[in-house]
Structure 1
């Protein structure tokens, strides 16, 4: 009989009040921010497992599966102070990218940062405690919280090719170590694959390095954190069956009101015009915030497929803003079927903001000095800090151009609009492709709720207007994803978003009984069922000669200016654009038309 999953066992313990959902005083007093109810439950499960659970395994490895934006790093900080109280002093934080390392150092080391998570004065067992970054554990102060930060690749390299003052395997002898792994799903990407040769050797070497540290002391603890856990994959499910302690996915996170509501705004526009639509909606949100006395700056992300395309779109956007005209604004204003845009322009009109005034505001708020690109491999630490503190009052950036660098480790609350500047799809067999899944994960990251309230009785960090559909502040609780008008893509995106963090349904066997009269029929007794057999194509049977790749048909799609709006996580039928196709044969055209067309080509 298969062993029950650990989190399911703990669900029962919580339900029967065996685990008391009370935040330990040590954690409460030493964190900067108040814990939310689900975070209190995560801490309660954690302390119960380490201190009271009869079936605790040693060394102990636990996984927290928590939605993007739900505060995984706060759980790490609370676990650190609780483990310190239990006698642990030495911690290794490892992840797959330097970007997350820099962000986490701000969380744990920089007490002047808005992102700092510990209390200004940490006090454990009536003693002041300091958090320090260390290169190794040889000469550390046993009164401090000593953290070694590293990428998994860097940790493996330093341990297996030791240098002066670097961490070594000898550092772990006779020491209790806590390993903290962020974005743990990257390890699972290797778990899921059948690797061979060099890839298998690399995977084994990384895993062996971590295992060697973990197994060096039976009191060691490994804590893994991820927002993306594919429990539908047998290898991943088996690996974490006895390790998954807490499961709080995006679906639960959203249902509890801790995220923005996600909507798609679809428009059959050129990419730069879609970007203009995005900043108009962003400016609308800023104005609504301002109307209620809240100085909150909504940020727009411009998402491209490649760095070259991103650089090109950034220049096009800058040119568009610099030369912005009433014709450009009226083009967006004239879009039909977009309720959000209609509300935006209605708000501008009621607020006495003329088209000329709006143009001036957009030129100022989205000027060149308020645009930042994060596509370079050589981005400085300073830029990383800037991009992770977009909520700061002295941070004036409104637009971020990016490709993939912000897909993980980007903790920003005031991202309110994401503009998809490309139109390709990569689905296969009706399932969302890798790009679509990554886009869904980015949307999940952008759905973090920006805390605000306009009256004392309102919650600070939860949605307030779900039941008040006409309240104009609802726009301030919505993340808009601007993309081309492509119903198939929207369906794929919706599917990907609904699957993020959701445990797949268990399989059910259903027995169907055939009617007696059908079983007496001739078809049932003598009929045949024919099934196609799949036979792999033998490449040797292919003809060596292939037709040259000459384009015999050219297509050009005229923009229809059609728009649509939908709410993610809801079942909605997306209307198809009524398109008409007209075919022409150039050979039948008059020569004057062909000569005119050729004259437009620089070569001629």
Structure 2
């Protein structure tokens, strides 16, 4: 391997890492590198295009024609994978590895043109070169179809790399009088036309976004006239339509279809929706549309709450979903808009929240429509329903489309490909594991089976789930509620936020605690003091527990920070500040932190010294594998006579021992060492062999056939079971505490009940408890809690009576992880409570589940965490932690805490 090859490989890996390329993007970049390595002359001004085609066809089986006058390679990547970022990777690699300085990026329409300019402009949200050090000081110079006359005179002055971004219309359009497009006219600054200047560059590389749009004769002719060294085409649809059907591209070197993107989780999972036992023949057209619209809104509102809850629970950006309604024509669209904004439609909730997007708009109305459409992803923009006829084409890339209601007649394939493609992008860049957050709904009561059949067509890249809506007219609309800790609520004067804006009543006037701080300046000062004090959580050497915040030095630092913060505020706050006793305010805030905090250290346990690992021997379970010998006979069919004969193909034994077919795949796993685990893996392989020998009376040739063909599948099964018997030991473990006390995270709950129930109220219908929110707490560190069972509510009553303070942890509060097979999962205990002499972490389980392996794995991990927390807090005057696993049938309201005994 040459030093030059190693250097190119390092550049390739560096760009992949810096741009965080996904698997298909990395695959495409490596394919480009492979093509240039196989045919270096592809970047040379003296190209032999036919010779290059012969060379590259041998490397890429699908490549049979460049389809241009110059070498052009197509990368067919599914919608939502990230083609613009891939362009950034292409440009970075070609410049850094091969010194290419001139690029021409072509857009098929104005929408994509504007999007590309934004994404190639530094300091924008989706800047494609973020992380590329070579472009940090001198980012590429961006020349566009709007500024090339002005900027063209300064080429190369600001950066060695120039990226031209043009809309295809700027090149192929004709003007009145038969004149050439402006880009082809003489420029006094260049002494030639800008188009000619570009075509004469020795290192121009052309990148074509949505390249299936440039196959018309005018577009092809204009692109050929540019005479670039290399063309790179990107599209999600590598074919053009003709009277005879789709015509596939002949220059594809990477094909990553939508089915692969769905399997790898890069796009939403599309699902077709209908009502159970729905018969569209019972409805008129108007009634059917009404039902579909109303069900679409039901789904939309449920999705909105799920997204609100997910964002709060995982501390990520809030996503506002919207619903797309596909109308028959502009008149129909206007009628739908009038209906949706009327008082009769969901009590007028969507007045001002819908827009009509079609060609009927003009002037100021059109500008307003476009502005709202481009801003539909913003949580501050009110639009939740978009009604369109046929204007949403490629380039309208949004991540928050979750519900589609098609009301226009179209065949199922067109409906799937054109409409669904606009909604597949994921708001968080990857699937979350939460069904409602990862799913795109298509409401199609009248077309349900037709769409299902089309989606199941082997030639269709989509596979769609089916969602059945149950009629439930009595159920109240759901809501999602974000609840901050009681500490935050006492300081800020606020407690919870509803996704629907509903005002929940937390207790009666007598029960509600009066605000600790009053006035804008005092609340702002208190919140600043709280943030300063909480920042000491990450300084355990200075503040090992919350009580250490009373230290005089910390109090002085807090006083200084609050004073500086208020001094930078407006004059009215300064005037109010004079009335505030900051020393008293900070002392009061500090005491609140101590009173409303259970010291939860952030603990890291890292193996140190010699680390050994291995697997405990076990009996293999092969019951789920039902493998048959493959038929290896060859079929020979004459193209002239249609006669068909078969040729028997005997099995050539690759290995003398059947076990070797499995072991060769097992040793490919990073966590299996042949030298250390040979005895175990051969034992497991022997168990697999004996299973198939005993299962049926296979001949030796048939057994070799099975293990040769399915060796990797058998190895995968064995490896998955090995993970359940994995052990790891270190000569010692180093326990590091990175935070002495962690503030409580915000909780988010979904509810179908607009009432906050007092925790002491007996619930008659216990099946509804999971949908209810509870308040009325005195000792809970949140004003509102949600319970999974009445047993949990009962245990909360015991804690209210006997604990000093308690709460139900939310995801991410402890970051305790346990091993579940091959996965590491987060453990979230049911309760944490501080008593007079200890802190308890509690899990309540049905008695029959106490011996469950997952329950025991959680308990073992939690006990280790408690032991480490106790050791740390014991050194700093804190209380020990204990883990209690309690059978559910022992939780009775008349029990006291001292009477419980942990089951482990």
TM range (shorter): 0.5 to 0.7
Relative distance call for 1:274 and 1:497 in structure 2 (3 A) is farther
Find the counterpart in structure 2 of residue 450 from structure 1: 427
- 1:213–1:407 CA distance, 2 compared to 1 (3 A): same
1:182-197 → structure 2 map (5 Å cutoff)? 182-188=209-215, 190=216
Residue matched to 2:401: 415
Matched, 1:262 2:270: yes
Q: How many residues align?
A: 404
2:301 aligns with: 283
- SS of the equivalent of 2:233 reads strand
Question: Contact 2:240/2:248 (CA < 8 Å) preserved in 1?
Answer: no
Give distance in 2, aligned partners of 1:176 and 1:45: 20
Is 1:323 aligned with 2:336?
no
Superposed, which structure 2 residues align to 1:349-364 within 5 Å? 363-364=348-349
Q: Deviations over 1:540-599 (max 9, x none)?
A: xxxxxxxxxxxxxxxxxxxxxxxxxxxxxxxxxxxxxxxxxxxxxxxxxxxxxxxxxxxx
Shift in alpha-carbon separation, 1:500–1:138, aligned structure 2, 3 A: farther
* CA contact 1:440–1:493 (8 Å) conserved in 2: no
Structure 2 equivalent of residue 563 of structure 1: none
SS of 1:74's equivalent in the other structure is helix
Q: How far did residue 314 of structure 1 move? A: 1.6
Q: Does 1:100 align with 2:115?
A: no
Deviation at 1:310, TM superposition (A): 1.7
1:308 paired with 2:331, answer yes
Change (3 A) 1:403 1:496: farther
How many Å separate the matches in 1 of 2:327 and 2:78?
24
Does residue 396 (structure 1) correspond to residue 382 (structure 2)? The answer is yes
Find the aligned partners of 2:302 and 2:425 in 1 and give their Cα distance.
Answer: 19
Cα distance between partner residues in 2 of 1:474 and 1:171: 49
Q: Secondary structure at the match of 1:270?
A: helix
Kindly provide the CA deviation profile for residues 415-451 of structure 1, in whole angstroms up to 9, marking residues without a partner as x.
11011123x244xxxxx6xxx4254232133122222
Structure ranking higher on relative contact order (CA contacts 8 Å, 6+ apart): 1
Residue from 213, 227, 234 that aligns with 2:236: 227
Distance 1:22 1:441 in 2: 38
Q: Does the 8 Å CA contact 2:122/2:139 hold for their aligned counterparts?
A: no
Partner of 1:575: none
Query: How far did residue 480 of structure 1 move?
Result: 0.6
Give the number of the structure whose residues are more often strand, by fraction. Answer: 2
- Which of 36, 44, 64 is matched with 1:50 structurally? 36
Provide the residue aligned with 1:208 in structure 2.
Answer: 221
Shift of 1:149: 2.8
Per-residue CA deviation, residues 519-553 of structure 1 (Å, 9 max, x unaligned), is xxxxxxxxxxxxxxxxxxxxxxxxxxxxxxxxxxx
Go from structure 1 to structure 2 and tell me whether the alpha carbon gap of 1:130 and 1:405 turns closer, same or farther (over 3 Å shift): same
Output the CA distance in 1 between the equivalents of 2:95 and 2:368.
Answer: 31
CA distance in 2, matches of 1:271, 1:238: 36
Are the counterparts in 2 of residues 261 and 479 from structure 1 also a CA contact under 8 Å? yes
The CA distance in 1 between the partners of 2:370 and 2:230, in whole Å, is 30
Which stretch has the larger CA shift, 80-89 or 162-171? 162-171
- Asked whether the 8 Å contact 1:251–1:498 carries over to 2, the reply is no
Q: Of the two, which has the highest radius of gyration?
A: 2
Helix, strand or coil for the counterpart of 2:451? Answer: helix
2:155 counterpart SS class: coil
Match of 1:78 in 2: 89
SS across alignment from 2:239: coil
**How does the TM-score come out when normalised to structure 2?**
0.40
Return the alpha-carbon distance in structure 2 between the equivalents of residues 297 and 79 of structure 1: 33
* 3-state SS in 2 of match to 1:124: helix
Alpha-carbon distance, 1:27 to partner: 5.6
Give CA deviations for 1:379-423 in whole Å, capped at 9, x if unaligned. Answer: 86786565345333333321112222213112111111011123x
**Could you tell me which residue of structure 2 aligns to residue 406 of structure 1?**
392
Counterpart in 1 of 2:74?
Answer: 63
Q: For the residues of structure 2 that align with 1:399 and 1:234, how far apart are their CA atoms?
A: 36
Shift in alpha-carbon separation, 1:296–1:513, aligned structure 2, 3 A: same
Q: 2:439 aligned with 1:478, yes or no?
A: yes
Q: Distance in 2 between matches of 1:409 and 1:509?
A: 48
Aligned to 1:93, the other structure's residue is in SS state strand
Post-superposition offset of 1:117? 2.8
Does structure 1 conserve the Cα–Cα contact (< 8 Å) formed by 2:75 and 2:233?
yes
Distance in 1 of aligned mates of 2:380 and 2:247: 48
3-state DSSP of counterpart to 1:88: coil
Cα shift at 1:163: 3.9
Matched, 1:180 2:207: yes
| SS of aligned partner of 1:129 | coil
CA deviation profile, 1:31-71 (whole Å, cap 9, x unmatched): 4xx22122112112222322454685565311110101111
For 1:461, which of 399, 422, 430 is the aligned residue?
430
Secondary structure of the corresponding residue to residue 341 of structure 2: helix
1:245 to 241, 253, 256: 253
> 1:251, 1:130 → 2: CA distance?
35
Q: If the length of structure 1 is used for normalisation, what is the TM-score?
A: 0.58
Specify whether residues 157 and 311 from structure 1 end up closer, same or farther in structure 2 by C-alpha distance, changes over 3 A only. Answer: same
**Residue equivalent to 2:103:** 91
What is the alpha-carbon distance in structure 2 between the residues aligned to residue 236 and residue 486 of structure 1?
A: 24
In 2, distance between residues paired with 1:90 and 1:48? 21
* In 1, Cα distance between equivalents of 2:452 and 2:389: 22
Deviations 1:467-490 (A, max 9, x none): xxxxxx312221110124235632
Deviation of 1:146 (Å): 2.7
CA distance in 2, matches of 1:61, 1:55: 13
CA distance in 2, matches of 1:127, 1:440: 42
Question: 1:141 pairs with 139, 156, 163, which one?
Answer: 156
| Distance change (3 Å), C-alpha of 1:308 and 1:93 | farther
Give, in whole Å, the separation in 2 of the partners of 1:508 and 1:394.
66
Distance between the aligned counterparts of 2:297 and 2:260, measured in 1? 30
Shift of 1:236: 11
Tell me if the contact between 2:78 and 2:258 (Cα under 8 Å) persists in the aligned partners: yes
Distance in 2 between the 1:508 and 1:285 partners?
55
Shift in CA distance, 147/311, structure 1 to aligned 2, threshold 3 Å = farther
2:468 corresponding residue in structure 1: none
Q: Deviations over 1:116-153 (max 9, x none)?
A: 3331x753288522442242656412625433333323
After superposition, the Cα gap between the structure-2 partners of 1:425 and 1:138, relative to the gap in structure 1 and judged at 3 Å, is same
1:463–1:275 distance in 2 versus 1, CA, 3 Å: same
| Cα RMSD, aligned residues only | 3.9
Matched, 1:153 2:158: no
Alignment of 1:525-540 (within 5 A): none
Does the 8 Å CA contact 1:22/1:44 hold for their aligned counterparts?
Answer: no
Give the secondary structure class of the aligned counterpart of 2:332: helix
Residues of 2 paired with 1:497 and 1:381: CA distance? Answer: 43
Q: Which runs of 5+ in 1 are unaligned?
A: 1-18, 191-202, 326-358, 427-431, 452-459, 465-472, 515-604
Aligned in 2, Cα 1:23/1:239: closer, same or farther, shift over 3 Å?
same
CA distance in 1, matches of 2:155, 2:368: 28
Check conservation: 1:27, 1:81, Cα contact below 8 A.
no
SS across alignment from 2:99: coil
Correspondence 1:24 to 2:24 = no
